[in-house]
Amino acid sequence: MIIEPKMRGFICLTSHPDGCEQNIINQINYVKSKGQIKGPKKVLVIGASTGFGLSSRITSAFGSDASTIGVFFEKPPMEGKPATPGYYNSLAFQKHAEKAGLYARSINGDAFSDEVKKITIDLIKKDLGQVDLVIYSLASPVRQHPVTGVLHRSVLKPIGVPFSNKTVDFHTGIVSNVTIDPCSDEDILNTVAVMGGEDWDMWISELMKAGALSENALTLAYSYIGPSLTEAVYRKGTIGRAKDHLEASAFSITEKMKSLNGKAFVSVNKALVTQASSAIPVIPLYISLLYKIMKAKGIHEGCIEQIQRLFQDRLYTGNEIPTDEKGRIRVDDWEMRADVQKEVADLWVKATTENIAEIGDLAGYKTDFLNLFGFNFPEVDYSKDVNENVEIAGLL
Ligand code: NAI
């Protein structure tokens, strides 16, 4: 079929297999251009099909020759209906990994469930024995708790008082004011249940129990801090509470991994256009201003640049892993630079519908958003008939 982008609100309902493959090729080429990393050899990535998790898988495989197992939750294609992009990304990843002689297997299912944990651990035991790196990179709106059966829904809301600020609809370029009502106490608990560290802890406990983690194993989850402009809805909002919990979990998980001399870290990453971040009000305006400034200064990064730098300059240098005073690895250092933040704050005050295309990088935002779904790659011929109904070989 001929596949075109079909937008509905903040999501795109279609995705393009050739474009998703181009995204993978571009990421692989970037990682290769940066040279070999003395990094991990057997890696489990939970949330491996898009965003930071996908880039972590690509960096492990093509930067460090690692065997990888990826867990994700994606809709496979049907005749006449394209898959979600993470499915095509994983298909392309597997194709290129196999071509390079690298082991790659994937599991498509709910990572929060006991069943998917068991399938994954059985596969590790059978094919790899143990893993030396576990990346935990889930971004999900819901989690069914495996013990209580309760379905928790996360929300992106301020705590205590309503929050009003500017936002931009990145499709139309209209800058407007948005007011977000504060959450209930239950919203906080639910968001922590979905995006906090409990499930990460459960994964590591099960992997430890099965003897599936090697000596000196590392595990990593991703967090975000951001500027005061967005803190009411992000770091001091419901999702911030979940990130506080995730960051605290790194310490309890490290304690758990002591017998292996293993360690758990949270890496604080840069704000990027992903499916998850596009849905948070205020963030798209912040990102389009931030991109403009970081690009002008030559310090802009996407997911793959962030993760490649994380592996090469933080995790696998041969020296102790550098952290901030709260034990977190920081690759949001360039985003948070005082000069960058001052310029974003100055532009923020000025931003209107009339000037946003000029003072912000709205075009870059849109391109990145379309790229997430495999669209807008100059190398791809979108008028060509493609087979949407393709399968990932050996997918569990
Ligand atoms: P994303 O939406 O691109 O990727 C999420 C991944 O989780 C996908 O592979 C998806 O298939 C998988 N997933 C979701 N629910 C699942 C389930 N129930 N079972 C199995 N897999 C499931 O997200 P993104 O943006 O890469 O986020 C990953 C982490 O990075 C999150 O913790 C996020 O908060 C954090 N982060 C994101 C930033 C951003 O600007 N996007 C900035 C800093 C941190």
* pLDDT (0 to 100) of residue 32: 98
Counting ligand 1 atoms within 8 A of each CB, the residue from 274, 307, 310 with the most, and so the one to mutate, is 274
Ligand 1 site, residue 306, Cβ cutoff 6 A: no
Atom of ligand 1 nearest to the CA of 195: 32
Over the stretch 119-134, which tens digit does the pLDDT of each residue have?
A: 999 999 999 999 999 9
Specify whether 87 is catalytic. no
Residue numbers of the domain that contains 162? 7-372
Ligand 1 site, residue 60, Cβ cutoff 6 A: no
Over the stretch 30-75, which tens digit does the pLDDT of each residue have?
A: 999 999 999 999 999 999 999 999 999 999 999 999 999 999 999 9
CA-nearest residue, atom 15 of ligand 1: 140
Q: Residue 389: inside a domain, yes or no?
A: no
Length of the chain: 396
Q: Give yes or no for residue 395 having a pLDDT over 80.
A: yes
| Cα 261 to Cα 253: distance, rounded to the nearest angstrom | 11
- 195 C-alpha to center of ligand 1: Å? 10
Percent of the chain with pLDDT over 70: 100
Ligand 1 site, residue 51, Cβ cutoff 6 A: yes
Structural domains in the chain (count): 1
Q: Give the pLDDT mean for 273-296.
A: 90
- Half-sphere exposure (Cβ direction) of 253: Cα atoms closer than 13 Å: 32
* pLDDT (0 to 100) of residue 73: 98
Counting ligand 1 atoms within 8 A of each CB, the residue from 73, 198, 278 with the most, and so the one to mutate, is 73
Query: Which one is catalytic: 136, 224, 234, 316?
Result: 234
Q: Which residues of 118-140 are buried (b: 16+ CB within 10 A; e: fewer)?
A: eebbebbeeebebbbbbbbbbbb
Over the stretch 322-377, which tens digit does the pLDDT of each residue have?
A: 999 999 999 999 999 999 999 999 999 999 999 999 999 999 999 999 999 999 99
Amino acid letter, 145: H
Q: Residue 38: inside a domain, yes or no?
A: yes
Q: Residue 263: inside a domain, yes or no?
A: yes
Two tokens, residue 314? 């933080």
* pLDDT (0 to 100) of residue 297: 97
Ligand 1 site, residue 73, Cβ cutoff 6 A: yes
What CATH number is attached to the domain comprising 326? 3.40.50.720
* pLDDT (0 to 100) of residue 368: 94
Q: Residue 44: inside a domain, yes or no?
A: yes
Ligand 1 site, residue 71, Cβ cutoff 6 A: yes
Q: Residue 291: inside a domain, yes or no?
A: yes
Over the stretch 377-392, which tens digit does the pLDDT of each residue have?
A: 999 999 999 999 999 8
- 354 C-alpha to center of ligand 1: Å? 33
Q: Give yes or no for residue 91 having a pLDDT over 90.
A: yes
* pLDDT (0 to 100) of residue 10: 76
Q: Residue 380: inside a domain, yes or no?
A: no
Ligand 1 site, residue 110, Cβ cutoff 6 A: yes
Q: Give yes or no for residue 277 having a pLDDT over 90.
A: no
Q: Residue 395: inside a domain, yes or no?
A: no
Q: Give yes or no for residue 279 having a pLDDT over 90.
A: no
Average pLDDT taken over every residue of the chain: 95
Over the stretch 136-195, which tens digit does the pLDDT of each residue have?
A: 999 999 999 999 999 999 999 999 999 999 999 888 899 999 999 999 999 999 999 999
Q: Residue 194: inside a domain, yes or no?
A: yes
Q: Give yes or no for residue 9 having a pLDDT over 80.
A: no
